[in-house]
Amino acid sequence: MPSLKSYMPILSWGRTYSRADFSRDLVAALIVTIMLIPQSLAYALLAGLPPEAGIYASITPILLYAIFGTSRSLAVGPVAVISLLTASAVGQVAEQGTAGYAVAALTLAFLSGGILLAFGLLRLGFLANFLSHPVIAGFITASGILIAVSQLKHVFGVDAAGHNLPELLGALFAQLSGINWITLLLGAVAIAFLAWARIGLRSAMDRLPIPQLLADLLSKAGPVVVVVATTLAVWLFSLDRDGVQIVGTVPQGLPPFTMPAFAPDLLKELLVPAILISVIGFVESVSVAQTLAAKRGERIDPDQELIGLGAANLGAAFTGGYPVTGGFSRSVVNFDAGASTQAAGAFTAVGLALAAVALTPLVYFLPKATLAATIIVAVLSLMDFSILKHTWRYSRADFTAVAVTILLTLLLGVEVGVASGVTLSVALHLYKTSRPHVAEVGLVSGTQHFRNINRHEVETRRHVVTLRVDESLYFVNARFLQDLIEERIGADSEVQDLVLMLSAVNEIDFSALESLEAVNERLIEIGVRLHLSEVKGPVMDRLRRSHFLTDLSGEVFLAQYDGWIALAGKADSPIR
């Protein structure tokens, strides 16, 4: 029975919390809060929700993660890819801007939280391993493109929606004549400034004679500067009357208590998207957390992370938010700013709560184009096309998985894209194992080592064939081995002994056992004895539970060399 402490890491780190931790966490929280205010508003926009939903989704979830999460650096909240997935899922059951839309988003967070929590309690964290890294990288890159393109409508000041690249581009082109030039100017300037702030600002700051902390703060304040500057511009010149879309009234106050919907039909419709959001969110979050933990020699517990993220999402569902997870950029900022415990997250939540209470009237004139610019610049850093180059050089199968994931995500949308990527990577793996590499081997002279007769200078014997099977034997390749042996041995009337060298066979399942039995019978018919060598312990244990070893016409040799010696007693001689 696991203790309460294992389910609530705060009981461990909370007991040793020091003053030094406190001041480090406070500084990190300050920096992250400044970064999160515009980002939360922006991601809510991306998810199709009112801006305050982004702020709310950053308060309770962070607090709950601080109690249940195991990463000391992870910053939980709305992130780009999950916001896009939310828009895609909720858009299928409700009209954007309606009350039903917001409730569906709460319901999605509720389902997602429940799924994560259940997986955590069942200790199913290992399931995340079924997503291969190239597939995730491809998916994130393609999602980044979709997100950036979906935000262009706000920069152009037009109305264009879609769930995939052709739809989005088509809608944009159809609206080109309606471009609002003032909005475009604001947006373009914002993008240019934000891009510079990301690339050049920090080094400019370092050259100024100011304290380190201030330089840190200022270098992260790029988005805030743009927000303030463009809001002022709209207010001073009444640009909203010229058609510049603004955020408008955002309710002032702490997150409200909200209820997700429990209508069975809605739950059923949102279940598959919720599973997808849970899996993608978990994988993204846990890989960030693991990377950051490894840098400080810390460990995280994937199963407990599921519980932490589950609690965070349930929190979002009941306090006006939408699905959340651990974000890459904010977690890195949190880590770099020196966050030493989960308390940094709690302080960030307090900062955002203050903002929700005090600052929301100030964003009335904030142009949506600015928020879109924030998103566009943020997702540019998610895109990584080098994975295509690296996988192309290393393995065509991995490259195919990445390329298909990227293409299908762009062409058919996020859900089809990631589902195809996962299916394809599993299918490619099975395909590879369905035609295993089987090498005919011989003895490397002067050693007891056996290698492929086609790659190495080795000794062989005319009457003995040794085949090294380079794959576990299971239903997918059981038949293949049977055919291959028939082809090699059936045609060679000189062979008297066939040795299957099983050093690379880690499993023989029931289908493969039946194939081996058939091979043994067939070889007996044509007068060839079947031997095994280098059978691994676990495989041997299992074979002993069947009739196979009793029926086997030959012997089982511990080492391949033992077999070589034993079968040398016959009247045959080396031929090379």
Binding site for its own copies (CB under 8 A): 126, 129-135, 294, 390-391, 393-395, 397-398, 425-426, 429-430, 432-437, 439, 444, 447-449, 451-452, 455, 470-472, 474-480, 503-507, 509-511, 513-514, 518, 522, 536-538, 542, 545-546, 558-559, 561
Q: How far is CA 331 from the centre of its chain?
A: 16
Nearest C-alpha neighbor of 119 from the set 333, 245, 308, 284: 308
Question: 447 to each of 206, 420, 512, 536, 554, how far by Cα in Å?
Answer: 63, 48, 32, 21, 25
Taking the complex as a whole, the smallest distance from the CB of residue 469 to its own copies amounts, in Å, to 9
Instruction: Indicate the residue among 237 and 394 with the shorter CB distance to its own copies.
Output: 394
Minimum Å gap between C-beta 378 and its own copies is 25
Sequence length of the chain is 576
Q: What is the CA radius of gyration of the chain?
A: 30
Residue whose structure tokens are 């702020």: 55
How far apart are CB 430 and its own copies at their closest, in Å? 7
Toward its own copies, which CB reaches closer, 147 or 292? 292
What is the nearest approach in angstroms of its own copies to the Cβ of residue 141?
Answer: 15
CB nearer to its own copies: give 131 or 244: 131
For its own copies, the closer of residues 276 and 439 by Cβ is 439
Residue 452's H or E segment, with its range, is strand 450-452
Closest separation between CB of residue 470 and its own copies, Å?
4
181-196 and 368-380 helices, crossing angle to 10°: 40
Residue pair 388/399 in contact by the 8 Å Cβ criterion:
yes
Nearer of residues 235 and 480 to its own copies, judged by Cβ? 480
Q: Which is nearer to its own copies, 21 or 534 (CB)?
A: 534
Beta strands in 194-277 (DSSP E): none
- Own/partner pairs, 513-520, CB within 8 angstroms, 24+ separation: 513/543, 513/546, 513/548, 514/478, 515/473, 515/478, 515/479, 515/481, 515/482, 516/473, 516/481, 516/548, 517/547, 517/548, 517/551, 518/482, 519/481, 519/482, 519/485, 520/548, 520/551, 520/552, 520/553
Q: How far is the CB of 507 from its own copies (least distance, A)?
A: 6
Nearer to its own copies, 101 or 564 (CB): 564
Q: Min. distance of Cβ 188 from its own copies in angstroms? A: 38
Tell me how far apart the alpha carbons of residues 315 and 401 are, in angstroms, rounded to a whole number: 35
What minimum distance in Å lies between the beta carbon of 124 and its own copies?
11
CB of 527 to its own copies, least distance (A): 14
The owner of tokens 């989005």 is 168
CB 184 within 8 A of CB 156: yes
Helix (H) or strand (E) run with residue 120 in it: helix 99-121
The least distance separating its own copies from the CB of residue 230, rounded to whole angstroms, comes to 41
The Cα–Cα gap between 199 and 210 comes to 19
CB of 453 to its own copies, least distance (A): 11
CB-nearer residue toward its own copies: 196 or 385: 385
Smallest distance, Å, CB 556 to its own copies? 14
What are 218's two structure tokens? 């200022």
- SS3 call for 529: strand
Q: Smallest distance, Å, CB 313 to its own copies?
A: 23
Task: Output 133 or 202, the one with its CB closest to its own copies.
Answer: 133
Instruction: Compare residues 364 and 561 and give the one whose CB is closer to its own copies.
Output: 561
Rounded-to-integer distance, Cα 402 and Cα 110, Å = 31
Of the pair 434, 553, the CB lying nearest its own copies is at 434
Six-digit token string for 257: 């208590």
Nearest to 354 by CA among 33, 22, 32, 27: 33
Interstrand relation of 438-443 and 76-77 (parallel, antiparallel or unpaired): unpaired
Of residues 278, 269, 293, 377, the one with CA closest to residue 35: 377
- In this structure, the strands spanning 76-77 and 325-326 are antiparallel
Q: Is the separation of the CB atoms in 28 and 133 below 8 Å?
A: no
Sign of CA dihedral 402, 403, 406, 407: negative
Of the two residues 209 and 446, which places its CB atom closer to its own copies in the complex? 446
